Amino acid sequence: SIAVQFHNVSRHYDSVRAVDAISLDIAEGEFFSMLGPSGSGKTTSLRLIAGFEQPSHGAIRIFGQEAAGLPPNLRAVNTVFQDYALFPHMNVLDNVAYGLMLKGVGKDERYRRAEEMLEMVKLGQYGTRRPAALSGGQRQRVALARALILQPRVLLLDEPLGALDLKLREAMQTELKALQRRLGITFIYVTHDQGEAMSMSDRVAVFNKGRIEQVAAPQQLYNQPATAFVADFVGAANVFDGELAATLAGQRQPFAVRPERIRPAGQLADGDVVRVAGKLLDIQYLGAVSRYEVEVFGQKVVSMVLPNEHGQFEAQAAIGGAITVAWPRQAM
């Protein structure tokens, strides 16, 4: 069934169209991400679901129920904020139990369930600590436990890993995904980090200026981006304009080629292959791969990414020298 539905929803602040005529169905049990650059309307969309904001136009339904007029605490959703919003003067257990206290749940049950939640996020030993005595990753887990204790059917997460360093962020991504699978509830996850959205999500909505450019599974976003914006924002891409497309593909529309699909011409067998003469501008060694910047058509720079396992190409390539690159037509 459908957990959350946007029907032609807009949220305007004076002349700013924070969210602009969005329609969207998010299925129950999905790990759904809202991905886009800063200011593209992701947080506003989440706040509209939570009930902290009201649409200027359009309607939101939560499990089929019209949400207009429903206050946040009567919606089957709960939010994890980027800054965690923990109470500094309460210990971890009280922070987690807080929502149950507001609901009038008795003390024994409250603490039993809070301890269960802390076990679930692997913080069983930390109940008596204050948030200030925890690491960023541990605080993030407390915020998660505090939101999940109310057993929301939908969990809203607004850049929840934004404050963590890269290693911890990657570990938390794995944990969050595992947790979502185990609980089977709907996660709606806001991020500006395409890698994060791609690695965790069943589907991703790509936001740009208050609008949705594409909603698709990660693989489809990567391999069949609907717009130049999506191609560029999701992974690296060499985006070509329509005039060039007319020359190469026989149709006037922009297209993109992923850097890892481009090869030195000699490495691709003849067949349905596009070959372009160019000049090698630069080589960046990145460890597992190297990135080659190649100027084609005397003005456009494309990136070619090659694995470093053999290394022989790099040895032959001369910066400033001529190079012919190629890609399979179906990689366009």
Binding status of residue 41 toward ligand ADP by CB under 6 A: yes
Would you say 95 or 194 has its CB closer to ligand ADP? 194
Binding status of residue 13 toward ligand ADP by CB under 6 A: yes
Backbone angles phi, psi at 126, to 5 degrees: -110, 10
Type of residue at 227: T
Would you say 37 or 311 has its CB closer to ligand ADP? 37
Binding status of residue 52 toward ligand ADP by CB under 6 A: no
Task: Report which secondary-structure segment, H or E, holds 2.
Answer: strand 2-13
Pairing mode, strands 211-216 and 203-208: antiparallel
| CA angle centred on 55, ends 189 and 10, rounded to 5° | 80
Binding status of residue 39 toward ligand ADP by CB under 6 A: yes
Instruction: Tell me which stretch binds ligand ADP (CB under 6 A): 42-50, 108-116, 123-131, 298-306.
Output: 42-50
Contact 178, 102 (CB under 8 A): no
Instruction: Tell me which stretch binds Mg ion (CB under 5 A): 35-43, 96-104, 144-152, 160-168.
Output: 35-43
**Rounded distance between C-alpha atoms, residue 180 and residue 148, angstroms:** 11
Residue 55, token pair as written in the block: 């649409």
C-alpha distances in Å from residue 241, one per residue of 48, 248, 257, 280, 296: 36, 11, 12, 21, 13
Binding status of residue 162 toward ligand ADP by CB under 6 A: no
| Among 208, 178, 205, CA closest to 189 | 205
Instruction: Tell me which stretch binds ligand ADP (CB under 6 A): 10-18, 99-107, 274-282, 289-297.
Output: 10-18
**Rounded distance between C-alpha atoms, residue 132 and residue 302, angstroms:** 47
Residue 297 touches which of Mg ion, ligand ADP, none (CB < 5 to 8 A by kind)? none
How many CB atoms are closer than 10 A to CB 158?
21
Residue 85 touches which of Mg ion, ligand ADP, none (CB < 5 to 8 A by kind)? none
Binding status of residue 186 toward Mg ion by CB under 5 A: no
Least CB distance from residue 231 to ligand ADP, whole Å?
20
Residue 247, token pair as written in the block: 């020359």
Binding status of residue 45 toward Mg ion by CB under 5 A: no
Least CB distance from residue 201 to ligand ADP, whole Å?
16
Residue 268, token pair as written in the block: 């691709």
Near ligand ADP by CB under 6 A: residue from 5, 43, 201, 214: 43
Least CB distance from residue 42 to Mg ion, whole Å?
5
Which positions lie near ligand ADP, rule CB under 6 A? 13, 16, 18, 36, 38-44
